[in-house]
Chain A
Amino acid sequence: MSELRFEDVTVRYGSTTAVDGVHLAVPKGQIVGLVGESGSGKSTLARAAVGLAPYSGQILLDGSPVPTRGRRRPLQMVFQDPYSSLDPRMSVGESVAEAMPGAGRAERRAEVARLLGLVHLDPTRAGARPSELSGGQRQRVALARALAGRPQVVIADEITSALDVSIQGAVLNLVRELQRELDLSMLFISHNLAVVRYVATHVAVMYDGRIVEEGPTDQVLADPDHDYTRELLAAVPGRRSHP
């Protein structure tokens, strides 16, 4: 697996600066959590990395620029809303297969089955349409599709916030398991500190387009430096005594 590095990345839309000179590294085989409020630029940073937003600065994968053209895409992304990230007209098997680099038909089928198994979906369900699946199952298909491109780094953008809490747990377990089994490097974006604490070894806090704090998760959470991090920590529900 590889290291993803953002160097002085800035994203501007017209006169607004969504991401402002961000330096951030996702080390090999680690999950880095990126937290911050909506509008802080987390998702924009992710979209810049995969080529969906124009940026200045450098986004490097093992020292060379991330390719955003051509068939081979070593950086993959999983989106927030599993109801809009799968084509309703395509079977989930086709959606997963689409992301695979060229291979024979039988080979593709075997690979789709392997990937669905990897995310704990019954491989015989490859012919199902997204509408036949629950939100949690769809999100697992989306993960399988991201893995189909044999990525070196995966970006997960709020992948549990559209899910019921009862399903969120299953997806988080899966993320941790995949990271361990495949030794994935991952940038895990979330606004929920408890979730980030559970999956990420490192955490970066983004505020107003900048990274304001960064470090090993346990250290940052135990001893936050920046005011905004403290505010975030105080806001985690269940932290206060109930009446």
Chain B
Amino acid sequence: MGRWRSVLRTPIGLTASVLTVGVLLLAALAPVMWTDDANAVDTSNILAGPSAQHWAGTDNLGRDIFFRTLVATRLSVELALAATAIGVVVGLLLGTAPFLLGRRSGRLVTAGVNIAVAFPGLLLALFFAVVFGIGATGAVLAIGLAGAPGFGRLTQTLVAGIAARDFVSAARLAGVGRVRILFRHVLPNIAEPLVVNATIGAGSALLAFAGLSFLGLGVQQPAYDWGRLLFDGIQVIYVNPAAALAPGIAVLIAGLALNLFGESIAKGLGIGVAGGIPALTDVPDLTRGADRSTQSPEPAGNTDSHLVLDVRDLQVTFPGPSGPIRAVRGISFTVGKGEAVGIVGESGSGKSVTALAVSHLVGDTGRVDARRLDLLGTDLRDDETTATRHFLGTSLAMVFQDPMTSFNPTRRMGSQLAEVARHHQGLDRRSAMERAVGRLGAVRIPDPEQRAHQYPHEFSGGMRQRAMIGMGLMGSPSLIVADEPTTALDVTVQQQVLDLLRTIRTDDDVALVLISHDVTVVREVCDRVLVMYAGRIVEDLPAGDLATAARHPYTRALVAAVPDMETDLDQPLAVIPGRPVDAADVPAGCAFAARCPLASARCRAEDPPLETSAAGRRVACWHAGEPMDVRIESRRLAEVEAP
């Protein structure tokens, strides 16, 4: 309800509603109230211009055109709605037929609809008007049927989209018949765009009627709709322009009303963006605030020449529907030259946002604050300039999860890689291409010269991911940020990509930030691991200690939850009960307290600071290292997880 109200509050929503209600009221009431006025013949006053008595003048029988226009509302709207109804019903039948009939007969229907769509609507309407005879009935059928193929085509596409979803397959497996699936699963899920289209279609039908009647193919005397009035008015336009203008304006207003109404419905149903999300204005700049009690003291040393990346008190905030979402809440870490640092955590822990912040990719809606954000001693907090872009383009390489969407599918691989060198290093086409081929070879793509001329879809998933890494190597980066680089890949291919990252790191002394939800992957490649939970770093420890010497309960649970080849088969796997914290609503105290078996009253009240130990490890927990039974019986899960 709230959404509808917010739509009503927008200027378009309000205008649309007022206009539509007005037109419908007029359609209902005008014939009752003004039919006599509209039909009153006054032969002494024919074809008069506008006057106080006749606002839009009179017609060739002296009838008041203003009242006739008002009274014509009902017939015009009725005809438009009837035509729309025909279009929608026939369209739905045509659109759902392929789903109901199965593949072979379905194809025939699809082909038929496609041919019908290719015909101009008005031509089709004229054709039908001739077939069904001139008059209101013929016009309704003509316009309705002319609109059907378009609506059918839309329905067909939407149905096909839903039919491919797994829940339709599941219903079929459950033995539910096609017709029942159509009504229970398919139609409810495509209703929104169809309703919107039907409403907008009604507006178009109204205009089409005006057009048809204007050509003399629509409503015939003595009945009259706006098109008929236009037809009559246009013949006397030099005597009384208002006679054509009045019904013209009526058509305009009603058409506009229905179109805007359709758009407002779309917004109300959430197809467009209703109202919008308020921009970030009132978020205090937390990095400059006085209360730093929850954060650890700064790591020692100022600008260290060994550091590739130096991040202090990084905060990333996004606007949300109910207040700002603090995706990253003040994290500090450094990455040394040639060091491999892993960031692990569940989805929503802020690990990917951290990567985006480092590479200047957060976008305009989010806000990045930090006391320090240095890459190779260069401050990245400043506004983006050509210089920083250039610096980032050559010093930092980013590898994303989905290698299919990281490349432009319409361009050859080689030229996509070469573009980087031409843009950032100013190489000419030839040497840029040579470098691209070289880099493809460096990431172990066989036949790099031939492969460079292929398109992304001709590469396998693993090869695309390696090419992505190769693209990052086109500059000479000091840091590679890889965000779940292997999650979309098969295990064997995953191993190749991890091997490649490892080799590049040791051979070229490139630092690596590897982000993953899988501790086993991180453990294998990295020296050090940062464990993130709810936008904070909760533990920072050497990767080798992950399995044996982790101290934070979350880290320990995360490690125990993943089966490996040595897992005890007689015990249930460890489970972290409950759900990750919603970044828009982080509780007071330790964010993990609600899911933690060690949580005490203090944890719920006070957020533990990230304490640095003598060995340089960091952990944020009041009960760090205390004995804990990570095996929480699966039976308990239901109780904890049910809100």
A contact residues vs B (CB 8 Å cutoff): 37-38, 50-52, 70-73, 75-77, 79-81, 84-90, 95, 98-99, 101, 120-122, 124-125, 134, 136-137, 142, 145, 148-149, 164-166, 168-170, 172-174, 176-177, 191-195, 197-198, 221, 231-232, 234-240, 242-243
The complex places the Cα of A235 from the Cα of B490 at a distance, in Å, of: 9
B174, A145: Cβ atoms closer than 8 Å: yes
User: With A165-B517, A168-B562, A234-B495 given, is the CB distance from A242 to B523 under 8 Å?
Assistant: yes
A-B contact pairs, 27 of them (CB 8 A): A51-B172, A52-B169, A79-B166, A88-B189, A98-B171, A98-B176, A99-B173, A121-B642, A134-B579, A164-B347, A165-B517, A165-B562, A166-B557, A166-B575, A169-B575, A170-B573, A170-B634, A172-B563, A173-B572, A173-B573, A194-B567, A235-B495, A237-B498, A238-B523, A238-B524, A242-B523, A242-B526
Contacting pair B634 A85 (CB below 8 A): no
CA distance A39 to B521 in the complex (A): 23
Min C-beta distance of A214 to chain B, whole Å: 19
CB-CB nearest in chain B for A195: B563
Interface size on B, residues (CB 8 A): 59
B569 at the interface (CB under 8 A from A): yes
Extra A-B contacts (19), CB below 8 Å, given A166-B575, A231-B492, A237-B521 = A72-B175, A75-B173, A76-B173, A77-B173, A80-B166, A86-B167, A90-B184, A120-B637, A122-B638, A166-B561, A177-B634, A194-B563, A194-B564, A232-B491, A232-B492, A235-B492, A237-B523, A237-B524, A242-B524
Q: How far is the CA of A177 from the CA of B544 in the complex (A)?
A: 33
Contacts of B518 in A (CB 8 A): 165, 237
Assess whether A193 is in contact with B565, with CB atoms less than 8 Å apart. Answer: yes
Whether the Cβ atoms of A176 and B524 lie closer than 8 Å is no
B174 touches A99 (CB 8 A): yes
Residues of B within 8 A of A122 (CB): 638-639, 642
- Which residues does chain A contribute within 8 Å of B175, judged by CB atoms? 70-73, 99, 101, 149
Q: Which residue of chain A has the shortest Cβ distance to B177 in the bound complex? A: A71
A236 in contact with B564 (CB, 8 Å): yes
Chain B nearest CB: distance from A49 CB in Å? Answer: 10
Within 8 A of A (CB), among B588-614: none
Given contacts A90-B184, A120-B638, contact A198 B167 (CB under 8 A): no
Q: Does B527 contact A (CB under 8 A)?
A: yes
Q: B564 contacts which chain A residues (CB < 8 A)?
A: 194, 236, 238
CB pair A240–B642 under 8 Å, yes or no, is no
Q: Is there an interface contact between B174 and A79, defined as CB atoms closer than 8 Å? A: no
Cβ of B451 to closest chain A Cβ, rounded Å: 19
The answer, yes or no, to whether B7 is at the interface (CB within 8 Å) is no
A77 to B565, CA, bound (A): 27
Q: Is the CB of B165 within 8 A of A84?
A: yes
Shortest A126–chain B CB gap in Å is 12
Q: Which of B131-180 contact A (CB under 8 A)?
A: 165-167, 169-176
Contact A166 B576 (CB under 8 A): yes
Beta-carbon nearest neighbor of A197 in chain B? B565
Top 8 closest A-B pairs, CB basis?
A: A99-B174, A120-B638, A169-B573, A122-B642, A85-B166, A237-B520, A235-B495, A238-B520
